[in-house]
Amino acid sequence: MHQNTRNYLIVTAGYWAFTITDGAIRMLVVLYFYLLGYSPFEVAMLFLFYEVFGIITNAVGGWLGARIGLNLTMHIGMALQVLALAMLTVPDPWLSVPYVMAAQALSGIAKDLNKMSAKATVKSLTGTSPEAGGDTRLFKYVAVLTGSKNALKGVGFFVGAALLETIGFRGALWVLAGTLLLVLIVTALLLPAGVGKMKQKPGFSQVFANTPAINWLAAARFFLFGARDVWFVVALPVFLKTVLGWSFMQVGGFMAAWVIGYGFVQATAPGLVRRGRAGRGPGGGAARLWSLVLAGIPAGIAMALWHAPTLDWAPGPVLVVGLILFGVVFAINSAVHSYLILAYADADKVALNVGFYYMANAGGRLAGTVLSGLVYQLQGLEGCLWWSTGFVLMAFLLSLRLPELPAHTPAAAAAAEIT
């Protein structure tokens, strides 16, 4: 096996293990603290610092990875997740809102350090030489890594619920922490040192991208993920529970299945996105096309829910079918974005560029999380869907400035392999 392929598989396995714990800890916190008597708003607030520190981590993480190496930042992320899990094993009287928010802040830092490191490492390991064959696999590699991550986060929802039911809250936390610690040790021993480290140490001012294409892509990413979370984080589970009368298991099962399906589509995106003229792969045109397709879906769901009583439609099936369509098209959008950030990034600045890009991603999640609760309270689920439509249209407008990849570049050669 080629050394780079071996290292890619190690990074992917470590990322998978981390992702399962990330999904599991979210489900554990939501279910357990609801059982402790926390209100839905208080439960949502537990994740506020998770998103806030994600923005900060992505700003600093790319800079840190460029200075000390991506494998080291990945392992720092794993260690912080182990610590966050251990923090929640204290007795119930200690589990105040500020304390749990602090633990979730650590988990948010850990998650974004791990994600930035794993995705930027793909660029470093595939290389930039077409003769080496690395860039011809770039889109497929990042699509598989990203898609499998999202699918396994859904698996993590199931794992967290199952562990909570079988061995309890603290037993589940210790199992997850011990497993991730073992993965940390194994990957630290197997991976080479210095992956992604820049030859010249970058100053902190280089955190902010000076490439116009990356700036426009990051802005579009902000609104793309805000469009998802404005209905997904708070509005959807509350609507399914309180309006449709679903059980907790039904709500959790549907959301987990949605995330798994979303990840599957994202992993298969290279077979869904076709190459353009002159051998060009997915560039600005693909981002514009798929964002425009996506914008019509939440608008369609909102109109269908509005007219459902008149047409004698049951709102449950309308919502489920609409959200499945949203998940498919959103996954393709996300996969194209994830490819473009690596294609636009300079090889020696990939950690910085990816960190900046995911800082915008975390900002979009934070905005979507806050708006999800606020808009649902004021305007209901239909209002959230119209806000989602507006966010996607903003992503489309920002994508108008995204360039195509020239046909002769190695990055375009990677995209041209898509069939």
Using alpha carbons only, give the angle 395, 317, 259 rounded to the nearest 5 degrees. 50
| Residue entry with tokens 């204290």 | 90
Burial class (CB in 10 A: 0-12, 13-18, 19+), 314: exposed
Query: How many Cα atoms are found within 13 Å in the side-chain-facing hemisphere of 208?
Result: 2
Is 330:388 a contact under the CB 8 Å cutoff?
no
Distances (CA, A) of 139 to 136, 166, 268, 340: 8, 40, 10, 9
Say if residue 160's pLDDT is above 60: yes
The overall average pLDDT reported for the chain is 79
Burial class (CB in 10 A: 0-12, 13-18, 19+), 1: exposed
More confident residue, 311 or 266: 311
Model pLDDT for residues 200-212, shown as the tens digit of each residue: 555 544 445 567 8
In a domain, 266, yes or no: yes
Residue 370: per-residue pLDDT:
82
Residue 63: per-residue pLDDT:
66
Structural tokens at position 194: 């210095």
Say if residue 32's pLDDT is above 70: yes
194 phi-psi bin (left φ>0, alpha ψ -120 to 50, beta other): left
More confident residue, 132 or 291: 291
Residue 412: per-residue pLDDT:
40
Confidence class for position 62, pLDDT limits 50, 70, 90:
low
Is 368:233 a contact under the CB 8 Å cutoff?
yes
CB atoms within 10 A of CB 310: 7
CB atoms within 10 A of CB 313: 13
In a domain, 45, yes or no: yes
* pLDDT > 70 in the chain, percent: 75
Domain of 65, CATH number, reads 1.20.1250.20
In a domain, 225, yes or no: yes
In a domain, 202, yes or no: no
Using DSSP's 3-state secondary structure scheme, residue 314 falls into coil
Cα-flanking dihedrals φ and ψ of residue 216, to 5°? -65, -40
Model pLDDT for residues 74-94, shown as the tens digit of each residue: 889 899 999 999 999 999 888
In a domain, 200, yes or no: no
Burial class (CB in 10 A: 0-12, 13-18, 19+), 34: middle
CA 355 and chain centroid, separation: 13
Model pLDDT for residues 166-188, shown as the tens digit of each residue: 898 999 999 999 999 999 999 88
More confident residue, 61 or 159: 159
Say if residue 268's pLDDT is above 80: no
In a domain, 410, yes or no: yes
Residue 61: per-residue pLDDT:
65
Confidence class for position 240, pLDDT limits 50, 70, 90:
confident
Among 109-118, 154-163, 310-319, top mean pLDDT goes to 310-319
Q: Give the lowest-confidence range in 104-108, 202-206, 234-238, 372-376.
A: 202-206
Burial class (CB in 10 A: 0-12, 13-18, 19+), 147: buried
Structural tokens at position 358: 């995911």
In a domain, 201, yes or no: no
| Helical segments of 36-69, H only | 40-45, 48-68
In a domain, 386, yes or no: yes
The domain total for the chain is 1
Q: What is the extent of the structural domain holding 76?
A: 3-195+209-416
Residue 322: per-residue pLDDT:
95
Residue 127: per-residue pLDDT:
52
CA 373 and chain centroid, separation: 20
Residues 6+ apart with CB under 8 A from 167: 175
Residue 297: per-residue pLDDT:
97
Say if residue 30's pLDDT is above 70: yes
Confidence class for position 414, pLDDT limits 50, 70, 90:
very low
Using DSSP's 3-state secondary structure scheme, residue 302 falls into helix
